[in-house]
């Protein structure tokens, strides 16, 4: 008899209660040995005054139980509401989002009958840090934050996943031809870690052509590891290519906690109509059972699910008259799976897990690098009548430069406009003014403060600064045209 373990469950919003009820009925029929602590999250909690969509009491339950099975929720529009998914992932340190995608032809139509790819997405960093500022009347900034230890954790997890599940290749996807420092660091970490796994093939795609590969040649991929935003996008592409977004489950894995869910949303338009396909959440629950050391129960359930698909018993989203036998609702689909517990598919490939598969990673803190301040970018909010870069440039060069910091260049939206800018270049009210030491001397913060005092004295409105550093002698900032 399986050991009984407590997990946290949230029924969510929209179709959430229906698909969670179906999933739990199937798990209970399979005698998976789980007890459920139910919490309320989502729309009602948001509207009761909790901007994050979860109450302090529910946080305690989540912290006490290492595993969380979550149905989709609805985040109200506007009003400063925060994404609950992002909040939970970050608060509990769920750094790895694992999404397997497999095609099930001919029962679920797909042009790629042998598709079997796993996307491992970094879950805590990137643009999903959610740090945004409006800096001028015309310009808003979003910070993209990528850390070396965060990159190492997710890349190492991807290789360990591939090793644990006998996968042959790990593909990294970035945009480091443009973002040479952020994405470049991720790619560099990938290359370094790949050397530790000589039995696993490693390759890299730029994300735009990589996305095209996911859409057009997914069978050439095995395990894909990528940054947060890219992983979010290509996961939905992969789900559609495999046949249906409604089929895919998702695991969010941390060092001490894990959350499992479907990748689709709450679909309020069909809520309460017994129409929803519970397969995504059910597959997420099976990933949870493997995580809990109950691989035999995950096998039992997923093989019964495959047999149900094979027998042509389909919910409306995948029902097709020419190949389906019966169109059923959420409850009836769950009943059909329960009836088939103990059976295996004869045409689709049966699921088989190894017992007690554990993935563990160890990321050691590295010594801090030697950091030298070599310059500063001062961002200025300025319009001027003609937005003439020579006007702002000449004044800053002649009136704001100090003995230690001289104006080197000005860019506008990343395009060089001073010196020797082109008059055709479109300019906003957001100017990046780079000051450096002509002799290459190491600077102090006091040198920057002196500069800012002089900039203020010129009457220009400086809105932010970014210090320019060398780390262990290597440049830690992007170059502009002309540098």
CA nearest to 196, candidates 402, 363, 17:
363
Q: Is the pLDDT of residue 84 over 90?
A: no
Per residue in 289-321, pLDDT (tens digit) is 999 999 999 999 999 999 999 999 999 999 999
Kindly report the CATH class assigned to 369-473: alpha beta
Query: What are the tokens at 432?
Result: 């990046």
- 1-90+253-350: what fold? Isopropylmalate Dehydrogenase (3.40.718)
User: Which bin fits 161, alpha (ψ -120 to 50), beta or left (φ > 0)?
Assistant: alpha
Q: pLDDT class for 1, splitting at 50, 70, 90? A: very low
- Chain-centroid distance of CA 401 in Å reads 42
CB 97 within 8 Å of CB 287: no
Strands 67-70 and 5-10: parallel
Instruction: Provide Rg for the chain, Cα atoms.
Output: 27
SS3 content of the chain, % helix, strand, coil (to 5): 35, 25, 40
Q: What is the 3-state secondary structure (H, E, C) of 311-368?
A: CCEEECCCCCCCCCCEEECHHHHHHHHHHCCCCCCCCCCCCCCCCCCCCCCCCCCCCC
Q: Which residues pair with 226 in a beta bridge?
A: 121, 173
Q: pLDDT class for 75, splitting at 50, 70, 90? A: confident
**C-alpha torsion sign, points 436, 442, 447, 448:** positive
Q: What DSSP assignment string belongs to 412-435?
A: ETTEEEETT--TTS---SEEEEEE
Number of Cα atoms under 13 Å in the Cβ half of residue 235: 27
Report which of residues 264 and 260 the model is more confident about: 260
Per residue in 89-121, pLDDT (tens digit) is 999 999 999 999 999 999 998 999 999 999 999
What lies within 8 Å, CB to CB, of 388 at 6+ separation is none
CATH number for the domain whose boundaries are 110-241 = 3.40.718.10
* Region of poorest pLDDT, from 70-74, 83-87, 302-306: 83-87
CA–CA dist 182, 144 (Å, integer) = 8
Per residue in 165-187, pLDDT (tens digit) is 999 999 999 999 999 999 999 99
Domain range annotation of the chain: 1-90+253-350, 110-241, 369-473
Q: What DSSP assignment string belongs to 294-308?
A: -HHHHHHHHHHHHHH
CA–CA dist 426, 254 (Å, integer) = 45
What lies within 8 Å, CB to CB, of 421 at 6+ separation is 389, 390, 410, 415
- Residue at token pair 């190894």: 354
CA–CA dist 48, 352 (Å, integer) = 45
What distances in angstroms separate CA 67 from CA 16, 123, 260, 291, 308, one per listed residue? 18, 17, 8, 9, 28
Per residue in 373-407, pLDDT (tens digit) is 999 999 999 998 789 999 999 999 999 999 999 99
Asked if the domains at 110-241 and 369-473 fall in one CATH topology, the answer is no
Per residue in 27-65, pLDDT (tens digit) is 999 999 999 999 999 888 888 888 888 998 999 999 999
Q: Which helix (H) or strand (E) holds 198?
A: none
CB 330 within 8 Å of CB 274: yes
């Amino acid at each position: 008899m399986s050991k009984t373990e407590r997990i946290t469950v949230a029924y969510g919003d929209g179709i959430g209660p229906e698909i969670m009820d179906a999933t739990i009925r199937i798990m209970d029929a399979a005698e998976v040995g789980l007890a459920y602590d139910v919490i309320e999250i989502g729309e009602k909690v948001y509207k009761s005054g909790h901007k994050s969509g979860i109450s302090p009491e529910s946080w305690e339950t989540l912290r006490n139980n290492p595993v969380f099975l979550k149905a989709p929720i609805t985040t109200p529009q506007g009003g400063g509401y925060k994404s609950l998914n992002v909040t939970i992932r970050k608060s509990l340190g769920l750094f790895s989002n694992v999404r397997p995608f497999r095609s099930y032809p001919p029962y679920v139509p797909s042009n790629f009958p042998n598709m079997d790819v796993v996307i491992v997405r970094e879950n805590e960093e990137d643009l999903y840090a959610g740090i945004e500022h409006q800096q001028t009347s015309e310009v808003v900034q979003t910070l993209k934050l990528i850390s070396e230890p965060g990159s190492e954790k997710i890349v190492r997890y991807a290789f360990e996943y591939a090793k644990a599940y006998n996968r042959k290749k790990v593909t990294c996807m970035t945009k480091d031809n443009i973002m040479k420092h952020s994405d470049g660091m991720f790619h560099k970490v990938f290359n370094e870690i790949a050397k530790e796994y000589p039995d696993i093939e490693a390759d890299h795609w730029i994300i735009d052509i990589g996305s095209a590969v996911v859409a057009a040649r997914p069978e050439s991929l095995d395990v894909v590891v990528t940054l947060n935003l890219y992983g979010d996008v290509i996961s939905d592409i992969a789900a559609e290519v495999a046949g249906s977004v409604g089929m895919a489950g998702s695991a969010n894995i941390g060092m001490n906690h894990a959350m499992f869910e479907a990748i689709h949303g709450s679909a309020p338009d069909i809520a309460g109509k017994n129409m929803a396909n519970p397969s995504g959440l059910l597959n997420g629950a099976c990933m949870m059972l493997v995580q809990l050391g109950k691989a035999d129960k995950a096998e039992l359930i997923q093989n019964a699910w495959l047999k149900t698909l094979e027998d042509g018993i389909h919910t409306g989203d995948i029902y097709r008259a020419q190949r389906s036998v019966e169109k059923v609702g959420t409850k009836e689909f769950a009943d059909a799976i329960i009836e088939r517990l103990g059976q295996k598919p004869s045409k689709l490939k049966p699921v088989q897990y190894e017992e007690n598969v554990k993935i563990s990673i160890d990321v050691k803190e590295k010594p801090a690098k030697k950091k030298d301040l070599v310059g500063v970018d001062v961002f200025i909010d300025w319009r001027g009548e003609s937005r003439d870069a020579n006007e702002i440039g000449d004044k800053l060069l002649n009136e704001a430069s100090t003995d230690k910091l001289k104006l080197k260049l000005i860019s506008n939206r990343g395009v060089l406009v001073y010196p020797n800018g082109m008059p055709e270049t479109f300019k906003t009210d957001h100017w990046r003014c780079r000051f450096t030491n002509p002799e290459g001397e190491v600077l102090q913060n006091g040198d920057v403060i002196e500069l800012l005092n002089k900039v203020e004295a010129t009457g220009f409105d400086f809105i932010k600064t970014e210090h320019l550093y060398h780390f262990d002698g290597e440049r830690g900032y992007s170059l502009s045209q002309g540098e």
